[in-house]
């Protein structure tokens, strides 16, 4: 046996293996960097840069490119419409908004279209002006309302003025001196004993010390310290006044954005004035493949993708006391037979297309499986043959009507009213 030849052969094998691994890494990075989400963000950032350079034609082209990449994302439509309005081209703005409503279900853009069409008749207004005086919650506390229909002092640098940029709110409540002090750096917040820490990537609740006060800058510092984000762009993206539970008492919702090389993260924090003490009551985060939305009434929804053939979603709300209550979670596994080890179920979709929906309604994690399909009349139970195959595999399933009953029952248990749900986004 020629030891030298064998040794040389082994070295070449190692080199080839190393090169193969390196090639795979390069391919993975290339795919991630060139994902639709990254291409979309790139075009949006290009548009912002062109706007700073007053190159409006290129900004328009960048926004249009972003829309082409992700026609269901309302962000680029709104930015392009705003640009057209700034150029006093209302006709183009209206056309963009109509296109947006053909591709999205954004209630905000629907309102903005109505506003643009009204201003097209002669009155001057910006597409980002706050819609005032409509759909206000019934409250006898008139002192809470700071907007009586007149524009605020354009020269004022108040917290109220900054907060009115909240993207969906129709009613603006006085945030009070405590929120203003916090946003101006003069006051901090404490982690609440009953704080819901839903942070998967940024679990701030695990890092914050009970009884210690944290300023806005210190909260941003905690986010930065969660991982190696030394070069990341971390900042307060929005400061929004909301009314959890529609009780007429305001809460402050902060969104901290973390823009890194490949992924973009958001951390949302709900701060509530509890007996002249600001407390952090709710923490949730999301990244490029997930999302969380907290509406004006405190109704919360989230979801995302957990793989090529699977996804998940969840609903809940933050009540008037600042306590988050989960309504239900639902995940869909496109390849149930492989993921859960039931090869005998692999060919059932040849009978008819169906979804395997897995529900849970509390923190216990108990799961309820529903097999359903979609028709023009709505969602219905999958075929009996499919149901029977799951039962024979020892899997307990529930009908669509049974799941609907569980959803309604859970909603009543947590006190989530129709008003809170239907008032979402100021509706």
Residue 81 included in any domain: yes
Domain that holds residue 174: 157-288
Are 184 and 54 in a shared domain?
A: no
Query: Who contacts 422 (Cβ-Cβ below 8 Å, separation ≥6)?
Result: none
Q: Which of 249, 264, 288 is the last residue of a domain?
A: 288
DSSP state of 145: B
| Within-domain flag for 84 | yes
**Does position 107 have pLDDT exceeding 90, yes or no?**
no
Long-range contacts of 14-23 (CB under 8 A, 24+ apart): none
Query: 230 and 175 in one domain?
Result: yes
Query: Is 7 or 408 the better-scoring residue by pLDDT?
Result: 408
**196 and 246 together in one domain:** yes
**pLDDT of the residue at 306:** 62
Q: Could you give the C-alpha distances from 226 to 194, 255, 261, 328, in angstroms and in order?
A: 22, 16, 16, 29
Whether 257 and 196 share a structural domain? yes
Residue after which a domain boundary falls, among 247, 270, 288? 288
CATH number at residue 56: 1.25.40.10
Strand positions, DSSP E, 206-250:
233-242
Is the predicted pLDDT of residue 341 greater than 80, yes or no? no
Question: How much is the average pLDDT of 124-139?
Answer: 30
Answer yes or no: do 163 and 68 share one domain: no
Provide the percentage of residues in the chain whose pLDDT is more than 70. 69
Residue 214 has pLDDT above 90, yes or no: yes
Amino acid 75: pLDDT? 80
Query: Residue 159: which pLDDT band, with cuts at 50, 70 and 90?
Result: very low
For residue 176, pLDDT over 80 is answered with no
Beta bridge partners of 374: 379
What's the pLDDT score for residue 154? 33
Tens of pLDDT, residues 351-394: 888 888 999 997 667 899 999 888 777 889 999 999 999 999 88
Residues 357, 327 within the same domain = yes
Q: Tell me what pLDDT residue 318 has.
A: 96
Higher pLDDT among residues 23 and 203, named by residue: 203
Residue with tokens 């762009």: 233
Looking at the domain assignment, is residue 22 inside a domain?
no
Q: How confident is the model at residue 137 (pLDDT cuts 50, 70, 90)?
A: very low
Q: How many domains is the chain partitioned into structurally? A: 3
Helices (H) and strands (E) in the chain, counts: 14, 13
Q: Which of 288, 312, 335 is the last residue of a domain?
A: 288
DSSP 151: P
Which CATH number characterizes residue 212's domain? Answer: 3.10.450
Q: Are residues 327 and 265 in the same domain?
A: no
Examine residue 363 and state whether it is found in any structural domain, yes or no.
yes
Q: How confident is the model at residue 88 (pLDDT cuts 50, 70, 90)?
A: confident
| Domain shared by 344 and 378, yes or no | yes
Closest CA to 359 of 333, 384, 389: 333
Whole-structure pTM value = 0.59
User: Is position 318 within any domain?
Assistant: yes
Virtual torsion, Cα 13, 28, 343, 346, nearest 10 deg: -140
SS (H, E, C) 100-141: HHHHCCCHHHHHHHHHHHHHCCCCCCCCCCCCCCCCCCCCCC
Which contiguous run of DSSP H or E holds residue 137? none
Question: Within this chain, do residues 295 and 416 fall inside the same structural domain, yes or no?
Answer: yes
Mean pLDDT for 192-197 is: 94
Specify if 31 maps to a domain. Answer: no
Q: What pLDDT does 403 receive?
A: 94
Asked whether the predicted pLDDT for residue 33 surpasses 50, the reply is: no
pLDDT higher than 50, residue 141:
no
- When pLDDT is averaged across residues 138-161 and rounded to a whole number, the result is 33
Residue 188 has pLDDT above 70, yes or no: yes
| Lowest mean pLDDT across 266-270, 309-313, 314-318 | 309-313
With respect to residue 176, please indicate whether it lies within any of the assigned structural domains.
yes
Q: What is the average pLDDT across 202-211? A: 89
Same domain, 312 and 249: no
Quote the longest CA-to-CA distance of the chain: 96
pLDDT at 2 (0 to 100)? 53
Residues 295 and 355 in one domain: yes
The mean pLDDT value for 178-200 works out to: 91
Averaged pLDDT of the chain: 76
Least confident among 1-5, 321-325, 405-409: 1-5
Residues 79 and 107 in one domain: yes
135 pLDDT higher than 60: no
C-alpha–C-alpha distance, residues 245 and 233, integer Å:
33
Residue 146, sorted as left (phi over 0), alpha (psi -120 to 50) or beta, turns out to be: alpha
* Position with higher pLDDT, 181 vs 37: 181
Residue range 190-207: average pLDDT?
89
393 within some domain? yes
Question: Quick one: pLDDT at residue 335?
Answer: 66
Question: Cα separation of 228 and 226, whole Å?
Answer: 7
Please, are residues 379 and 372 in contact by the beta-carbon 8 Å criterion? yes
Q: Give the gyration radius of the chain's Cα atoms.
A: 26
Residues in a beta bridge with 222: none
Identify the pLDDT of residue 272: 95
């Amino acid at each position: 046996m020629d030891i030298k030849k064998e040794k040389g052969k082994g070295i070449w094998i190692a080199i080839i293996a190393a090169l193969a691994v390196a090639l795979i890494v390069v391919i993975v990075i290339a795919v991630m960097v060139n994902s639709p989400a990254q291409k979309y963000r790139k075009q949006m950032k290009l548009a912002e840069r062109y706007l700073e350079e007053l190159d409006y034609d290129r900004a328009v082209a960048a926004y249009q490119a972003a829309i082409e990449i992700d026609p269901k994302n309302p962000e680029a439509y709104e930015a392009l419409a705003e640009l057209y309005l700034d150029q006093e081209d209302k006709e183009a703005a209206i056309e963009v908004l109509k296109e947006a409503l053909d591709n999205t279900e954004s209630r905000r853009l629907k309102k903005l279209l109505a506003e643009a069409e009204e201003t097209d008749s002669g009155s001057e207004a910006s597409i980002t002006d706050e819609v005032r005086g409509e759909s206000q919650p019934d409250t006898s506390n008139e002192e809470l309302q700071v907007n009586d229909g007149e524009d605020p002092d354009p020269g004022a640098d108040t917290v109220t003025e900054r907060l009115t940029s909240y993207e969906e709110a129709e009613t603006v409540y006085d945030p009070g001196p405590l929120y203003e002090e916090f946003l101006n750096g003069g006051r901090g917040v404490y982690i609440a004993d009953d704080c819901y820490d839903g942070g998967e990537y940024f679990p701030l609740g695990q890092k914050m010390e009970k009884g210690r006060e944290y300023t806005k800058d210190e909260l941003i510092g905690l986010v930065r310290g969660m991982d190696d984000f030394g070069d990341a762009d971390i900042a307060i993206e929005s400061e929004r006044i909301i009314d959890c539970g529609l009780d007429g008492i305001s809460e402050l919702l902060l969104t901290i954005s973390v823009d890194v090389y490949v992924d973009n993260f958001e951390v949302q924090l709900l701060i509530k004035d509890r007996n002249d003490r600001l407390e952090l009551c709710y923490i949730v985060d999301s990244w490029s493949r997930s999302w969380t939305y907290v509406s004006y009434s405190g109704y919360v929804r989230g979801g995302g993708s957990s793989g090529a053939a699977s996804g998940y979603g969840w609903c809940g709300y933050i009540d008037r006391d600042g306590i988050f209550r989960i309504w239900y979670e639902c995940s869909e596994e496109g390849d149930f037979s492989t993921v859960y080890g039931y090869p005998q179920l692999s060919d059932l979709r040849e009978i008819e297309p169906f979804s395997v929906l897995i529900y849970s309604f509390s923190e216990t994690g108990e799961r309820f499986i529903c097999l359903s399909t979609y028709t023009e009349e709505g969602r219905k139970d999958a075929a009996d043959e499919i149901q029977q195959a799951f039962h024979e595999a020892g899997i307990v399933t529930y009908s669509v009507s049974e799941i609907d009953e569980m959803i309604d029952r859970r909603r009543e248990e947590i006190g989530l009213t129709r008003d809170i749900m239907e008032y979402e986004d100021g509706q």
